[in-house]
A and B are shown apart, each in its own frame.
Chain A
Amino acid sequence: MQRPVIRARIEEAGYSGRPVLRNVFFEVRQGEVLLITGRSGCGKTTLLRSVLGIINILGGYARGYVELLGRALSDFSPGEMASLISYIPQEPWLGIIGHTVKADYCHALSVAGKRCVIERLSRYGLGGLGDQVTYGLSAGQYQRLLWAEGMDKGSVLLVLDEPLAYSDKGFRYVARKIVKEFVERGGAAIIVDHDPRFWSDMAADELRLCPIPRPLSVRRPRQGSGEVAVEVRDAWFRYPGGEWVVKGASLTVRRGELLLVSGPNGAGKSTLLKLMAGVLRPSRGSVSVSGKPIIVPENPLTYFTHPTVREEILGNEDIAERFGITPLLDKPLAQLSSGERRRAAIASAITRGHDIIIVDEPTAGLDPWSCASVLNALVNAVEEGHTVIVAAHDERVAEVATRVCVVERGAVSCG
């Protein structure tokens, strides 16, 4: 029998004295994968933070013990841990400390005692991006960079928190193959994911922290009217000092449409959305908007103005009910999970009377129930006359979109 790589018993963990989870025990041996599932906000990320011993940095606490390779985790130096464990956080931009792709990659390997070979980045779809500043990367590219670092430093344990939430379909399969090779070589992996079926060929054990309600059915809304809500004409855009990100994009979005903007990581989807919202102005060409737009970005925290959900949605309890955020109304936004923040932001946008709602990755990291409730809310918004524009890799969004536009290398083609 293979030896355990990690053994953990978390008696209690939570924040500000409020427990989030209790009595969780697991063991992962060499060549094994443990999948952690459960509804958004039920403590999956808290569990990973407790296991890694980083929950206290975020004002939380954890009681229990964690053993890595038969020794208490607290006996390891940070350098040893950095070498043995690879961690991809749910919000991938938080795992990056280098100002360029190359600096970050080489630093991650350096602290693990390895030398970097920059050419290896091409395996992760980051070839030629070594000198790219990291603050210009998309969320999917952040995830790819963390994958590259995690795999190339030769760890024995992967701790992955929604590691594919922002990744395009092509990379999802690449990543699954990488994990499979990793565990076949004797590594162990703990993966938080809402889609256990995706990892089914690895015979992973499943640890369900809390039940997920059966998702509601989601219907596709009616087609939009003829009236133009957003018109992009031959728009070009590049960030200062960078290359062209959007190249001659043209598209028309009609009122009452639910438009999905898809495409590979780093293709320019988020930039196109920001141009349509008016957050960015095109370097060339034009964007005209007829209505009151709003954008909920990939990191929804930058959307919020107020400290609680109740204030952010102007006390509208009806919309809170529709979005399943009633229990969160008086909880500080800082304590919400990524998925909860996203739902709260979309609810706020609708409450505040915006008729063109632009959302970047609305379903990233959401369990099937939360995903269906967000999609239903977006469908309802469309049927009430709003225009919804969404950038997503999630195939569940494609099922409700009235039209799909694909962005590839900055160019747009619409179906």
Chain B
Amino acid sequence: MIGALVSLIYRSLFLRGTSGAKAAHFLTKLAYVSAFVTAAYLRGDSIYIAAATAALIALADSGLDWVGPAVILSSIPATWYALTAYLLSLAGVPPTVTPADAAIIFARVLAYSLTIMFIIYSIDPVSISNALHALGARKASSAPLLIWRVMPYGLSTMMESLAIGELKGEGASKRIAPAIAAIIEHGRGIEASAYLRLAAPMVHRLPRRVNSFFTALLLLSAAALILWVLP
């Protein structure tokens, strides 16, 4: 169960390197996020458009490899919110929530979660590093790369550790502490082994190729969201 959850997080957030939606121009990503926030603020049902465009772009990018795990993962908070609202209502806590209301809560939370996960999925740490470099934070410019390196590595270490625990006949609860210890050890190991790189500032920006197809898709999605909320 825990292993499956870790696997879903891993696949939902760190599936790709720098291809597909990650390689879209960073200004179009900003445009998409701005359009999403504006649309969600002005008109609640625009979240469905955002989620649908996110899912379509992700389908074009990596087929069901991202959409499947992301929908399953998103359905966890969606189910929680819908169910607790409905059960509290049944217990007499206002407001009244009908099964139809619970279904709407489910759909909205699912759409929000899916869109936010897509935004995280499409972040390219190289863009952030280059932005930090351009802003003069040259030492900090290694941090985004490191985060995107260590987080998925930590998740895959945890998955491997849990799977080995299963083979050893140990319960997941017994394996969590050693798995975390392995991740911490890994972090310290990187800190020491890559110390010179981490402590030194980047001199040049990192090269980055822009994918014009996904840049266009994100721009179209941003435009669709804005058109949806226009009076």
Contacts and interface: CB of A to CB of B under 8 A. Distances in A.
> Do they bind each other?
yes
Interface of A: 49, 52, 54-55, 57-58, 77-79, 81-83, 85, 87, 89, 91, 93-100, 102-104, 106-116, 118, 131-135, 240-241, 277-279, 293-295, 297, 299, 301-306, 334, 352, 354
Given A100-B18, A134-B149, A303 B195 contact: no
B167 A89 contact: no
A301 B153 CA distance: 14
Contact of B149 (A52, A98, A304): A98
B14 interface: yes
Given A118-B207, A297-B164, A302-B157, A240 B17 contact: no
Nearest to A297: B160
Interface string B117-157: 00000000110010000000000001001101100110011
B190 interface: yes
B185 A305 contact: no
Given A87-B196, A294-B168, A305-B174, A107 B17 contact: no
Contact of B11 (A115, A240, A354): A240
B190 A279 contact: no
7 contacts: A83-B200, A87-B196, A91-B189, A99-B17, A111-B203, A305-B168, A354-B167
A304 B168 CA distance: 10
A277 B164 CA distance: 9
A279 B7 CA distance: 12
A211 to B, nearest CB: 28
Most chain B CB inside 10 Å of its own CB: which residue of A97, A100, A352? A97
B17 A131 contact: yes
Contacts of B201: 79, 111
A162 B148 CA distance: 27
A97 B206 contact: no
B166 to A, nearest CB: 8
Contacts of B52: none
B191 A57 contact: yes
A135 to B, nearest CB: 5
Given A241-B66, A279-B164, A107 B188 contact: no
A31 to B, nearest CB: 23
Most chain B CB inside 10 Å of its own CB: which residue of A99, A114, A118, A297? A99
B6 interface: no
Interface stretch (B25-33, B95-103, B175-183): B175-183
A334 B183 CA distance: 12
Given A58-B192, A240-B11, A334-B185, A135 B153 contact: yes
A114 B206 CA distance: 11
A241 B18 CA distance: 12
Nearest to B170: A305
B75 interface: no
A352 B169 CA distance: 10
Contacts of B191: 57
Contacts of A278: 163, 167
B156 A135 contact: yes
Nearest to B61: A241
Interface in B47-97: 62, 65-66, 69
A277 B191 CA distance: 32
Interface in B179-229: 179, 181-182, 185-186, 188-207
A264 B192 CA distance: 29
B146 A97 contact: yes
A305 B204 CA distance: 43
Contacts of B196: 52, 78, 81-82, 85, 87, 111
A301 B182 contact: yes
A54 B153 CA distance: 22
A279 B167 contact: yes
Contacts of A81: 196, 200
B18 A97 contact: no
B182 A78 contact: no
Nearest to A101: B17
Contacts of B160: 279, 297, 302
Nearest to A345: B164
Contact of A49 (B148, B192, B198, B206): B192
Given A135-B153, A305-B175, 12 more contacts: A78-B195, A89-B189, A96-B149, A96-B190, A100-B18, A103-B126, A109-B204, A110-B202, A110-B205, A111-B201, A302-B161, A304-B182
